[in-house]
A and B are shown apart, each in its own frame.
Chain A
């Protein structure tokens, strides 16, 4: 299962020396481009097409079915449509910050995938602090949200930005604490180690995925993740019926695409973290080369879950959200961490 990180594989593939630094830098860039493209493709599929189809299925509709098979070419049509729109720059926006925010939102989430083992040898880097790194990149999106909200010079954006910060602070701590409880099991932050630790079987055919070992942590993490990616019941930074579109109110055309893209990549990053630390990463029946298929099935499963929540669950109010975060989730995740530590300490 354990294979060399992607740049080495690539270097070997084209017959270059994997020990020379320039070659590795080049191959890392190629690998990053590959993973970036992979995730972008996923997002392209998810944003204009899958999201519509999934929501339609939940709401008794059909959704896009006119352009191409199953309406798939809507992706092309939407891309052309969105990119050819006028980029409106409102008066009084805080220029560098306003332009940078969409880039920050979109790129930070992509960075996280660098350390995610996707199976089938697609794993760009495997630093020892892998999990910490993923959480760090995921939270950096908040910076982008604040930039967007504050720089837009729009009150709705401003409110959206403030809500985003309040929400992310309230939910990132439970998220990371719950993630830490997994680290107690594995004793390592390295992503490959976390995946490797989930290879055994638990009871019968059940694999020892941490979702089965500690379902409580899994549920906590799933809920916190909903808040982290801003989907119902925690979609209040955008809350269309309250603050129009929150921090993205003033963005149009390419910038809007970037913000939107960033959100979807963020959902997938959340899915990737969940898949890696709770669902055994790329593990699944069949040969190891099928790993990437299983991995993507898992992150799409998480995506489906967020869309399900979006279609069926009411949104909570901002003060209720903060209350749930600080008084509920934080306490529960701390309890989970302590219990896990005690249990692991006693058994091991």
Chain B
């Protein structure tokens, strides 16, 4: 079957057995490091000492094969702070392990994991920024989402919301200060690219040091679109109030994919079984979203490389419009769908169903022709190839190290797709392929997206066939879910789905109320953006812009 993944050589890895992970073997591997073991819904959690993080994580990485640090969750309990490192494997993401690092309430410190997993750099900065845990031996522990001058840590328990955050202009960092040429390095020039710049796809600020036109140093500065999404979700009830928020993370067409991330996490947390019919509808609508999102990525990438609002951009939007119309028929919305519900979907396909099927089929029938047109205009263009091949190269090792996922990782040859590797929905029943390209350059990433559109179309087509033949009396769109959902206290879960940009994960800890005690979003764009300095070092400014475009970040999801 096409979904079969080439079996990796895991013989050397500790704790891998026929039926999943043997946590006892892992605990033996770590020996005395493990103070306690906790049971999370998705995996077991090992509690370790705050000053042994690097030792434990490097053992797990090198000897047990946990090469993917998906997320770092920080939270504050009444008696302690806690950092959770959600580890999994690129080869098999169902093999998960949480490493729990408690730290004392009065002086929260623990060792940084950034030396083991580069991706932890930003994740820990975020944890420091929002929760207030200090990470020792961190390469650069600064605030990341909030301004440097912010007082307090908003997700910590003693944060005073009414405290005025008045900062005089004088106290603020002057972005031009770094402009002064130092004596030893007078050949470079500091340039702020963004937050107002035509190519930053929103409000991204890239601090660049140029040597001529080449990039000597680069640092993305994010947080301009931080909307406290995590806290807002923590204040909403599971059943209805959280679902509209995911639409606003990756707000360009990927809404249903994001909703599914929350739906999956909450459903697994509360043990809700989704009817098969609803799963098929979810799968279909999610793939429609993916096509729309990839079309947009393609159009804006062309915009970055071609220059002005050119034909490609407009063509991509024209075709995306068709998908948007289909989604509008289905959900009633064009952007903020709010279509999934815990345990199912909001409503059945629109009547008359034949019309909807026909419309979708027409789109799918036209798609190969349109993709051919794109290949003519974009990937077949020699100037385009000149610009994109071998620029912004990201090696598979670096991609893994930075926790890159989605088309970015697959463009670097990392065969990682949660739809296949950690199956959910109806994906494992359907016939489709995971697309990878080996190049690791801007061109590969674009090519991966274009080919993924084809695969999505295949999935949608099969879903439509299924839906068409579904017996009328078995069209169950919604499972039985209690009106007020109160998951058992102290259950914790990290669950991810394959969003448009990569692994979109959500960590939820319940405290027995109808609202989550901690709601953490693992945004794929956040991790993917971390690879930008790696890709653009020494490249020309235009290539940096192209790399940024090929990363396909949405600042709403980066900043949350």
Chain A residues with Cβ under 8 A from B311's Cβ?
58-60, 311-312
CA distance A59 to B307 in the complex (A): 14
A35-69 with Cβ < 8 A to chain B:
55, 58-61
Indicate whether B191 reaches chain A with its CB closer than 8 angstroms.
yes
Are A59 and B540 within 8 A (Cβ)?
no
Contact of A241 among B213, B307, B381, B386 (CB under 8 A): B307
Are A241 and B318 within 8 A (Cβ)?
no
Contact of B307 among A60, A235, A318 (CB under 8 A): A235
Indicate whether A314 reaches chain B with its CB closer than 8 angstroms.
yes
Chain A residues with Cβ under 8 A from B377's Cβ?
312
Separation in Å of the A59 CB from the closest CB of chain B?
4
| Closest A residue to B541 using CB positions | A242
Indicate whether B350 reaches chain A with its CB closer than 8 angstroms.
no
Chain A residues with Cβ under 8 A from B387's Cβ?
314-317, 320
Contact of A155 among B189, B309, B310 (CB under 8 A): B189
Chain B residues with Cβ under 8 A from A317's Cβ?
386-387, 540, 542-543
Chain B residues with Cβ under 8 A from A25's Cβ?
none
Per-residue contact bits, chain B 301-320, to A (CB 8 Å; 1 contact, 0 not): 01111111111011100100
Are A241 and B191 within 8 A (Cβ)?
no
Q: A59-B310, A59-B313, A239-B542 are in contact. Are A244 and B197 (CB under 8 A)?
A: yes
Are B314 and A59 within 8 A (Cβ)?
yes
Separation in Å of the B28 CB from the closest CB of chain A?
54
CA distance A319 to B315 in the complex (A): 29
Contact of B545 among A242, A311, A319 (CB under 8 A): A242
Indicate whether A243 reaches chain B with its CB closer than 8 angstroms.
yes
Separation in Å of the A285 CB from the closest CB of chain B?
34
Separation in Å of the A219 CB from the closest CB of chain B?
16
CA distance A320 to B309 in the complex (A): 22
Are A239 and B307 within 8 A (Cβ)?
yes
Are A240 and B307 within 8 A (Cβ)?
yes
Are B383 and A60 within 8 A (Cβ)?
no
Chain A residues with Cβ under 8 A from B313's Cβ?
59
Are A314 and B213 within 8 A (Cβ)?
no
Chain A residues with Cβ under 8 A from B305's Cβ?
241, 314-315
A293-314 with Cβ < 8 A to chain B:
310-314
| Closest B residue to A155 using CB positions | B191
| Closest B residue to A235 using CB positions | B307
Number of interface residues of A (CB under 8 A): 29
Indicate whether B199 reaches chain A with its CB closer than 8 angstroms.
yes
Separation in Å of the B527 CB from the closest CB of chain A?
24
CA distance A59 to B306 in the complex (A): 13
Are A315 and B306 within 8 A (Cβ)?
yes
Separation in Å of the B547 CB from the closest CB of chain A?
12
Indicate whether B384 reaches chain A with its CB closer than 8 angstroms.
yes
Q: A241-B303, A242-B541, A242-B545 are in contact. Are A314 and B309 (CB under 8 A)?
A: no
User: Which of B199, B383, B543 has the most C-beta atoms of chain A within 10 angstroms of its own C-beta?
Assistant: B383
CA distance A329 to B461 in the complex (A): 50
CA distance A241 to B305 in the complex (A): 8
Are A313 and B306 within 8 A (Cβ)?
yes
Separation in Å of the B311 CB from the closest CB of chain A?
5
Per-residue contact bits, chain A 220-252, to B (CB 8 Å; 1 contact, 0 not): 000000000000110110011111100000000
CA distance A319 to B318 in the complex (A): 34
Indicate whether B198 reaches chain A with its CB closer than 8 angstroms.
yes
Indicate whether A82 reaches chain B with its CB closer than 8 angstroms.
no
Contact of B314 among A61, A155, A242 (CB under 8 A): A61
Are B386 and A60 within 8 A (Cβ)?
no
Separation in Å of the B179 CB from the closest CB of chain A?
9
Chain A residues with Cβ under 8 A from B383's Cβ?
233, 313-316
Indicate whether A103 reaches chain B with its CB closer than 8 angstroms.
no
Indicate whether A159 reaches chain B with its CB closer than 8 angstroms.
yes
Are A314 and B384 within 8 A (Cβ)?
yes
User: Which of A156, A243, A318 has the most C-beta atoms of chain B within 10 angstroms of its own C-beta?
Assistant: A243
| Closest A residue to B179 using CB positions | A155
B288-307 with Cβ < 8 A to chain A:
302-307
Q: A159-B213, A312-B377, A317-B387 are in contact. Are A241 and B304 (CB under 8 A)?
A: yes
Chain B residues with Cβ under 8 A from A244's Cβ?
197-198
Chain B residues with Cβ under 8 A from A156's Cβ?
191
Per-residue contact bits, chain B 321-332, to A (CB 8 Å; 1 contact, 0 not): 000000000000
Are B306 and A232 within 8 A (Cβ)?
yes
Contact of A318 among B197, B310, B381, B542 (CB under 8 A): B542
| Closest B residue to A310 using CB positions | B308
Per-residue contact bits, chain A 254-298, to B (CB 8 Å; 1 contact, 0 not): 000000000000000000000000000000000000000000000
| Closest B residue to A158 using CB positions | B189
A307-337 with Cβ < 8 A to chain B:
310-320
Q: A155-B189, A232-B306, A242-B545 are in contact. Are A314 and B381 (CB under 8 A)?
A: yes
Chain A residues with Cβ under 8 A from B384's Cβ?
314
Separation in Å of the A54 CB from the closest CB of chain B?
12
Chain B residues with Cβ under 8 A from A310's Cβ?
307-308, 310
Per-residue contact bits, chain B 375-387, to A (CB 8 Å; 1 contact, 0 not): 0010001011011
Are B307 and A315 within 8 A (Cβ)?
yes
A13-52 with Cβ < 8 A to chain B:
none
Chain B residues with Cβ under 8 A from A232's Cβ?
306-308, 310
B151-172 with Cβ < 8 A to chain A:
none
Chain B residues with Cβ under 8 A from A316's Cβ?
383, 386-387
User: Which of B213, B303, B314 has the most C-beta atoms of chain A within 10 angstroms of its own C-beta?
Assistant: B213
Are B315 and A60 within 8 A (Cβ)?
yes
Chain B residues with Cβ under 8 A from A240's Cβ?
198-199, 307-308
Are A312 and B310 within 8 A (Cβ)?
yes
Are B213 and A318 within 8 A (Cβ)?
yes
| Closest B residue to A61 using CB positions | B314
Separation in Å of the A316 CB from the closest CB of chain B?
6
CA distance A240 to B199 in the complex (A): 8
Q: A155-B191, A241-B198, A314-B387 are in contact. Are A59 and B309 (CB under 8 A)?
A: yes
Chain A residues with Cβ under 8 A from B309's Cβ?
55, 59
Are B199 and A241 within 8 A (Cβ)?
yes
| Closest B residue to A56 using CB positions | B314
Separation in Å of the B304 CB from the closest CB of chain A?
5
B193-231 with Cβ < 8 A to chain A:
197-199, 213
| Closest A residue to B543 using CB positions | A317
Chain A residues with Cβ under 8 A from B543's Cβ?
317
CA distance A303 to B489 in the complex (A): 70
Chain B residues with Cβ under 8 A from A239's Cβ?
307, 542
CA distance A241 to B547 in the complex (A): 12
Chain A residues with Cβ under 8 A from B306's Cβ?
232, 313-315
Separation in Å of the A71 CB from the closest CB of chain B?
18
Chain B residues with Cβ under 8 A from A159's Cβ?
213, 541
Chain B residues with Cβ under 8 A from A60's Cβ?
311, 314-315, 318
| Closest A residue to B378 using CB positions | A314
User: Which of B189, B198, B377 has the most C-beta atoms of chain A within 10 angstroms of its own C-beta?
Assistant: B198
- In the complex, besides A242-B199, A244-B198, A312-B377, 13 extra interface pairs with C-beta distance below 8 angstroms are A159-B213, A159-B541, A239-B307, A240-B307, A241-B545, A242-B541, A244-B197, A310-B307, A315-B305, A316-B383, A318-B540, A318-B542, A320-B387
> Which residues of B pack against A, CB within 8 Å?
189, 191, 197-199, 213, 302-311, 313-315, 318, 377, 381, 383-384, 386-387, 540-543, 545
Q: Offer 21 A-B interface pairs, CB within 8 angstroms, sorted by A.
A: A58-B310, A59-B310, A60-B315, A61-B314, A156-B191, A159-B541, A232-B306, A233-B383, A235-B307, A239-B542, A240-B198, A240-B199, A241-B307, A311-B308, A311-B311, A312-B311, A313-B306, A314-B306, A317-B540, A319-B213, A320-B387
> Which residues of A pack against B, CB within 8 Å?
55, 58-61, 155-156, 159, 232-233, 235-236, 239-244, 310-320
- Counting from the closest, the 7 A-B pairs by CB-CB distance are A59-B314, A241-B199, A314-B383, A315-B307, A314-B384, A314-B306, A240-B198
